[in-house]
């Protein structure tokens, strides 16, 4: 049972990390243009930038 003493805080910390990451991504505008993001992956932008 002593494993719980480590595992529970670790689980909570990782979960909290996920929450913080989500809120960060929300704030940085990554959910602003979901439609555009879906199309961007199909774009041919392989040409080297000059």
Partner 1 sequence: MTLPCCTIDGDYFEPFKLEGEDAQRWISTAGPGLKRIEFIAPQANHPEAMAHIETDLGALDGVKSARVNLTGRRVAVIYVEGVIEPQALIDRLGIIGYMARPFDPRETGLTKDDREGGRLLRALAVSGFAASNVMLLSVSVWSGAEDATRDLFHWLSAMIALPAVAYAGRPFFYSAVNALKLGRVNMDVPISLGVLLASFMSLFETFNGAEHAYFDASVTLLFFLLAGRYLDHLMRARARSAIAQLVSLSAEGATVIEADGKRRYAAARDLKTGMSVAVAAGDRLPADGIVTSGTSDMDRSLLTGESAPETVKPGSTVHAGELNLTAPLTVEITAAGNDTFLSELVRLMAAAEQSQSKYIRIADRLARFYSPAVHTLAAITLVGWMLLGHGWHDSIMAAIAVLIITCPCALGLAVPAVQVVASGRLFRSSVMIKDGAALEKLAGVDTVIFDKTGTLTKGEPALVSPLMVSTDTLALAAGLAQASKHPLSQALVREANRRGLTPVPVNDIVEHPGLGLSATYNHEALKLGSRAWCGVEDAADDKGLLEFAFRRGPRAPSIFQFEDRLRPDAAETVSRLKTMGLAVHLLSGDRESAVQRVAETVKIDTAVSRASPQGKLAYVDALAKAGRKVLMVGDGINDAPALAAGYTSMAPASASDIGRTAAETVFMGESADAVAEAIKVSRRTQRIAMENFGLAVGYNVLAVPLAMAGLVSPLVAAIAMSTSSIIVIANALRVGLGRTATPASAMLNANHQAERPGLRNAA
Q: Which residues bind partner 1 (CB under 8 A)?
A: 1, 4, 8, 11-12, 15-16, 18-19, 22-23, 26-27, 31-36, 39-40, 42-45
Bin 44: left if φ > 0, else alpha if -120 < ψ < 50, else beta: beta
Rounded to a whole number of angstroms, the minimum distance from the CB of residue 37 to partner 1 is 8
For the four alpha carbons of 15, 19, 24 and 25, in that order, the dihedral sign comes to positive
Q: How far is the CB of 18 from partner 1 (least distance, A)?
A: 7
CB of 48 to partner 1, least distance (A): 13
């Amino acid at each position: 049972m002593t494993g719980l003493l480590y595992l529970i805080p670790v689980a909570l910390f990782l979960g909290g990390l996920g929450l913080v990451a989500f809120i960060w991504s929300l704030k940085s505008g990554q959910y602003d243009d979901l439609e555009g993001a879906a199309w961007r992956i199909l774009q041919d932008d392989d040409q080297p930038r000059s």
